[in-house]
């Protein structure tokens, strides 16, 4: 039987196994039944037996063929109705918790009193919006299925895996129409420059990835990645000045061309409120490159409403991709954490401070420790605008945060730790600091990878101190778990876990 980790890994249900795609409705039902019973290997087998094998990679395939392949790769559950999607996700989550409980049982650690994961695993909380829910999309530039080197879309590996190309992504069910419109206009912008016959797959020119961010307030931000060295890779120069410094003039000309196209030219139909350039900078051969954001036109930020609060979002800041589901997630966090006017929250999450600021409405005090750089400025602006006075941010690195945790005593107040590692993971020294802080009696963990990296974190939080010399303090007990569907049509979800001791 395939493990939950293998099922949820990026390739397990995509091109290699293709669980559920390309099969008739009857075959879908049979495959789903096997998946719900936990036999994912059997489900894949049943699917493949009834699958009509396409003529992959043969000349003459139309765009819809490649778009269907792209949808199956990025959204492996898109052919199922939404209730069936939640059933599949629930079973995977259930097996993840069973695996955790099994590991803890072997060490004699405390687990849920009632037998089985059903005692602690609550029903899936569905996404309020199922289609077009994404507030941020990322598009790449590469050769398309038709051979054009300046195609804007999402990466798809060719049959056999020998090459990667871009497929236009407007058909994807998660994508808002506005995002697709900006991507189409960006492709028009790229193709207006005469194509050099010598341009190959590794010579894409200076214009690269596109990110589009929208908000419920109607704001649209486009962020285009620009690599100046691409001007020397077969891309026609806009500057004819023969004197020294002409390359810098050419860079300025390219930026001005992008601004004119999107703000007053053909791209103005996108009605962008912000146009940014994300420029790759290499100071010298001895120094590593970095990226900086340059506002070409419009407002420097977009704004989003969450639970009655207004949040500022900078171009490089993280914000959850599904705003409606994020609101539901924060309500669940408050419930599982028992947050009330006597609760002090120690916020160890990343992002723009939206989690801690949202909970501040219910708590006595919120202290955010792990915000960095631009996220701090965004969070402080949002706190001031919403007149939140019981939230505090301490911009400190991981070492300082760990040292602060070691000294914190809580002063007898109810202290809840909130952990949301996003993509950064939770270092072992932070786990040790949390366990070694006796004031933390309750911990709420928001996990996007419960089957992978976070599984070891859960184990370290709950295993007895005797199982390892570097795990101080009293272990936690997992008391409840609520899965939230942040990304319909995919196998991903957020699992909110409540730990107590």
Q: Which residues participate in the annotated binding site for S-adenosyl-L-methionine?
A: 420
Q: Residue 107's Cα: distance from chain center in Å?
A: 34
**Contact between residue 408 and residue 439 where contact means Cβ atoms under 8 Å apart:** yes
Torsion angle defined by CA atoms of residues 112, 113, 118 and 124, in that order, rounded to the nearest 10 degrees: -50
Distance CA 6, CA 175 (A): 26
Beta carbons within 10 angstroms of residue 216's beta carbon: 12
Q: What is the DSSP letter of 78?
A: T
Extended beta strands in 135-229, E state: 136-142, 151-157, 164-167, 207-214, 220-227
**Contact between residue 197 and residue 281 where contact means Cβ atoms under 8 Å apart:** no
| Run of H or E including 294 | strand 290-298
Question: Which of 461, 454, 467 is CA-nearest to residue 501?
Answer: 461
Q: Which residues contact 320 (CB under 8 A, 6 or more apart)?
A: 326, 329, 351, 354, 486
For residue 167, count CB atoms less than 10 angstroms from its CB and return exposed for 0-12, middle for 13-18, buried for 19 or more. buried
Q: Which residues are annotated as a binding site?
A: 420
């Amino acid at each position: 039987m395939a493990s939950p980790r293998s099922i949820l890994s990026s390739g397990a249900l995509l091109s290699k196994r293709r669980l559920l795609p390309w099969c008739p409705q009857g075959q879908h039902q049979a495959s789903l039944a096997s998946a719900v019973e936990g036999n994912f290997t059997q489900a894949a087998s049943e699917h493949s037996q009834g699958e009509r094998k396409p003529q992959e990679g043969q000349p003459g395939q139309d765009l819809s063929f490649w778009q269907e392949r792209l949808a199956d790769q990025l959204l492996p559950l898109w052919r199922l109705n939404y209730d069936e999607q939640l059933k599949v996700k629930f079973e995977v989550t259930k097996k993840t918790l069973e695996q955790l409980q099994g590991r803890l049982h072997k060490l004699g650690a405390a687990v849920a009193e009632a037998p089985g994961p059903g005692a602690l695993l609550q029903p899936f909380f569905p996404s309020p919006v199922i289609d077009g829910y994404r507030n941020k999309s990322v598009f790449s530039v590469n050769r398309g299925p038709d051979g054009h080197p300046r195609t804007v879309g999402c990466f798809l590996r060719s049959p056999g895996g020998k090459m990667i190309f871009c497929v236009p992504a407007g058909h994807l069910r998660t994508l808002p129409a506005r995002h697709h419109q900006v991507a189409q206009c960006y492709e028009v912008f790229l193709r207006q420059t005469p194509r050099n016959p010598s341009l190959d797959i590794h010579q894409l020119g200076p214009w690269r990835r596109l990110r589009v961010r929208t908000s419920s307030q109607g704001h649209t931000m486009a962020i285009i990645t620009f690599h100046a060295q691409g001007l020397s890779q077969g891309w026609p120069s806009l500057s004819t000045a023969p004197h020294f410094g002409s390359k810098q003039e050419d860079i300025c000309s390219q930026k001005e061309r992008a601004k004119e196209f999107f703000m007053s030219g053909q791209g103005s139909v996108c009605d962008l409120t912000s146009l940014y350039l994300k420029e790759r900078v290499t100071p010298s051969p001895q120094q590593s490159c970095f990226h900086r954001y340059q506002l070409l036109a419009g407002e420097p930020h977009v704004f989003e409403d969450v639970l009655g609060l207004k949040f500022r979002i900078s171009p490089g800041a993280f914000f959850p991709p599904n705003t409606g589901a994020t609101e539901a997630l924060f309500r669940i966090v408050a419930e599982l954490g028992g947050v009330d006017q006597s609760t002090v929250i120690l916020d160890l999450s990343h992002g723009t401070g939206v989690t801690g600021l949202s909970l501040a409405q219910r708590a006595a005090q919120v202290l955010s420790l792990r915000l960095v750089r631009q996220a701090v400025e965004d969070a402080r602006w949002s706190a001031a605008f919403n007149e939140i006075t019981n939230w505090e941010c301490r911009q400190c690195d991981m070492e300082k945060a760990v040292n602060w945790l070691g000294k914190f005593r809580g002063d007898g107040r109810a202290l809840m730790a909130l952990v949301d590692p996003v993509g950064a993971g939770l270092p072992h020294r932070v786990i040790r600091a949390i366990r070694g802080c006796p004031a933390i009696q309750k911990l709420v963990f928001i996990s996007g990878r419960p089957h992978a990296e976070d599984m070891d974190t859960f184990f370290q939080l709950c295993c007895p101190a005797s199982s390892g010399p570097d795990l101080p303090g009293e272990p936690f007990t997992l008391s409840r778990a609520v899965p939230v569907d942040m990304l319909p049509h995919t196998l991903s979800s957020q699992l909110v876990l409540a730990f107590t001791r």
